[in-house]
Amino acid sequence: MTIEKCINEFGVDDVIFEEGSTGRELFVVLGGKVDIVKIDGGHKTVIVTLGRGEFFGEMAVIDGSARSATAIAAAPDTRVMRINHARFVYLVSQQPAFALMVMDALSKRLRASNVVTYRTANP
């Protein structure tokens, strides 16, 4: 598969994937911005906005679980590269720095969510 087939472009408010959907791909932001959001009824809460070089969707590619949030393009001409499970496994096995980068991001995201959870439980 050529790299061009792995790159998608989205306009503002285009949904890249929805919470609860299945998918065995992670995405790297090549340009633009992506909001990771939780949608409760009609209310949208932005968890984080990601920019060039940042990635999302890694939990589903690692464990095959349903998406835990919705990813929405937040800027015009947002471009993302899809990395499927097979390519992810290859990168992790051949590039230890890539594996450490993913683990570092997961660790930071988990720590941030723990802080939010603690503050919510202990106002």
For residue 3, what pLDDT band results from cuts at 50, 70 and 90? low
The two tokens of residue 99 are 């594996």
In whole angstroms, what is the distance from residue 70 CA to residue 21 CA? 9
How far is the C-alpha of 74 from the C-alpha of 44, rounded, in Å?
Answer: 13
pLDDT of 1 strictly over 60: no
Q: Where are the domains of the chain?
A: 3-121
Instruction: Kindly report the pTM of this predicted structure.
Output: 0.84
Question: What is the residue-averaged pLDDT of the chain?
Answer: 89
What are the residues whose beta carbons fall under 8 Å from the beta carbon of 72, sequence distance 6 or more?
13, 14, 15, 16, 34, 35, 37
Q: 51-103: per-residue pLDDT in tens? A: 999 999 998 898 888 999 999 999 999 999 999 999 999 999 999 999 999 89
Rounded to an integer, the average pLDDT of 18-33 is: 94
Q: Is 8 exposed, middle or buried (0-12, 13-18, 19+ CB in 10 A)?
A: middle
Query: For the domain 3-121, what is the CATH superfamily, name and number?
Result: Jelly Rolls (2.60.120.10)
- CA 10, 23, 27 angle in degrees (round to 5)? 45
* Banded model confidence at residue 117, pLDDT cuts 50, 70, 90: low
**Cα–Cα distances in angstroms (integers) from residue 86 to residues 43, 58, 111, in the given order:** 36, 13, 28
Secondary structure element (H or E) that encloses residue 91, with its range: helix 85-94
